[in-house]
Amino acid sequence: MKFIVDQQVEDIEMPENLKLNTFLKEFHSDCLHPECSFGLYGFAFGQSPFPVPKIVQEALIKNADKGTYAPVPGITELRDAISKYNKHYFGMDISPERIYVGPGTKELIFNLLEVLHGTVILPTPAWLGYLPQIRLLKKNYHMLPARANKKFSPDDLKKLALRLQDRQKILILNNPHNPTGLLYDKLELEEIADVCRDQNIIVISDEIYAQTTYNFSKFISMGKIYPEGTFVTNGLSKSHAAGGYRLGYVIFPQHAVDLKRQFKKILATEYTAVSTPIQHAAVAGFEISTEMDDYFDVTRNIHQIMGEYTYHALSTIDGIKTTKPDATFYLLADFNVFATELQKAKINTSQKLSEALIVHPYHTAIVGGDSLVLERTDFSARIAYVDYDGAKVYQNYLDNKPKSTSERVEFVKNNAPKVVAGIEMICRFFSNLRKESLDDLQAHKNLIVT
Ligand SMILES: Cc1ncc(COP(=O)(O)O)c(C=O)c1O
């Protein structure tokens, strides 16, 4: 029997993050070389390494008997807790009626894109999840490339919007940003909001990494700056290290009553509601408590320590540029200064660079540029600094908080040896590349002389 698949499904690829698994299996051979007993240095996966907070786990166990369907927008206790959470941490007054709960923000972003008319504006580089959704929904879209500072500029947004004919446009803002780890500050958000008001652009503000902002007081939600036109999405996946729970929420803009009705129809049609026990567990995660407050504090401090180390260690490679993360557990490293040497070694796409790093003797996994919605020939990569035992490191941090710069470096060396060794491997790869290229040049010169 031959099954015929709809064309828009044929046209999209497996989302890059999930493809990565297959890729790693395919290219990473279990090396018999004694030097390679370390397995793999993992800079590719975007998962928080910490355990799910105890009180969330306990609430899940306690509510395992809740077998009835939940209301479509989410249980009342959870919408109330999310409302208070937003007030406490982000200074936002959101009535619970403006909150809808869904099975992860990825699904909710998809649902918003289904409901909202308009051309999508996607700043790049971008998280690898958006583009397949836009394509599946056959929406018109335009990329908005970042400037040299790796952020998009409001002027560029305006120029692009002026060219688009659509009555309504949708900007996907991701703040703090995956893959760069950068944060848009208040002034930048205000400038973006001015353009949005002027050009009738609505914003989906993906703020899944908000709680990881290292200097937490610096984070400001776009929902506060542009409340009439912003849909804020957030959830349990990164802040609570619970991506597998599949729970996210969206905050609707003020005065979007009819739109909420339309949205509810879509949720009811597609998945009815999020699992009831998971919603009860999430209540414990969003309620204000000392346990959760400490958890956010400790985890963001550890991410920051790992981020500082990774940034400084990679910056020792001559000529490469990396973003200095303000949040998340990623940074973007730009290896384009090596373009000539890479091409000489027949590495002419970012995919090839990922492949070259995964094989012997490097065994190092990174996410290459084309997975970040960059040109295939852009040698930039996302480096996730999370390859360590989160439970152990969390406890070690509590037992002995590193204070000075040197203590912080020691902390990384003692607690995340694979992060340290993996960065050394990346350095070694590029130093070998440079050396091979110089050797080639020398051999070529010798040939001319003789
Ligand atoms: C920027 C960004 N948005 C959304 C998601 C998905 O979040 P969720 O697990 O809530 O679907 C991720 C996960 O990696 C992400 O990096």
Residue 30 has what pLDDT?
63
**What letter represents residue 270's amino acid?**
E
Residue 45 has what pLDDT?
87
Class of the domain covering 7-46+292-449: alpha beta
Q: Which residue, among 393, 336, 392, has the nearest Cα to 368 in the 3D structure?
A: 336
Distance 294 CA to ligand 1 centre (A): 23
The secondary structure of residue 209, as a DSSP letter, is T
pLDDT surpasses 60 at 449: no
Structural domain spans, the chain: 7-46+292-449, 54-288
Distance 352 CA to ligand 1 centre (A): 26
Atom of ligand 1 lying closest to residue 243 CA: 9
pLDDT surpasses 70 at 112: yes
Atom of ligand 1 lying closest to residue 178 CA: 1
The response to whether residue 212 sits with its C-beta less than 6 Å from ligand 1 reads no
Segment 15-46, tens digit of pLDDT = 655 566 666 666 555 676 767 776 789 999 88
Asked whether the CA dihedral 414, 416, 418, 421 is positive or negative, the reply is: negative
Q: Which residue, among 362, 352, 360, 355, has the nearest Cα to 421 in the 3D structure?
A: 362
pLDDT surpasses 70 at 308: yes
What integer best gives the mean pLDDT of the chain? 93
The response to whether residue 207 sits with its C-beta less than 6 Å from ligand 1 reads no
Angle between helices 186-199 and 154-163 (to 10 degrees): 10
Cβ atoms within 10 A of the Cβ of 116, count? Answer: 18
Q: Which CATH number fits domain 54-288: 3.10.20.90, 3.40.640.10, 3.10.20.30, 3.30.70.360?
A: 3.40.640.10
* Residues facing residue 333 across a β-bridge: 322, 381
* Residues facing residue 254 across a β-bridge: none
Angle between helices 290-315 and 54-62 (to 10 degrees): 130
Segment 195-253, tens digit of pLDDT = 999 999 999 999 999 999 999 999 999 999 999 999 999 999 999 999 999 999 999 99
283, 63 Cβ separation under 8 angstroms: no
Cβ atoms within 10 A of the Cβ of 365, count? Answer: 22
Residue 23 has what pLDDT?
65
Atom of ligand 1 lying closest to residue 127 CA: 1
Pocket test for ligand 1, best of 127, 128, 212, 372 (most atoms within 8 A of CB): 127
Helix (H, G, I), strand (E, B) or coil at 94: coil
The response to whether residue 206 sits with its C-beta less than 6 Å from ligand 1 reads yes
Rounded-to-integer distance, Cα 317 and Cα 221, Å: 35
Distance 106 CA to ligand 1 centre (A): 6
Contacts of 393 (CB under 8 A, 6+ apart): 49, 302, 415, 416
The response to whether residue 363 sits with its C-beta less than 6 Å from ligand 1 reads no
Nearest CA to ligand 1 atom 14: 46
Residue 441 has what pLDDT?
61
346 pLDDT band, cuts 50/70/90, is very high
Residue 72 has what pLDDT?
97
370 pLDDT band, cuts 50/70/90, is confident
Average pLDDT of the residues in 411-438: 92
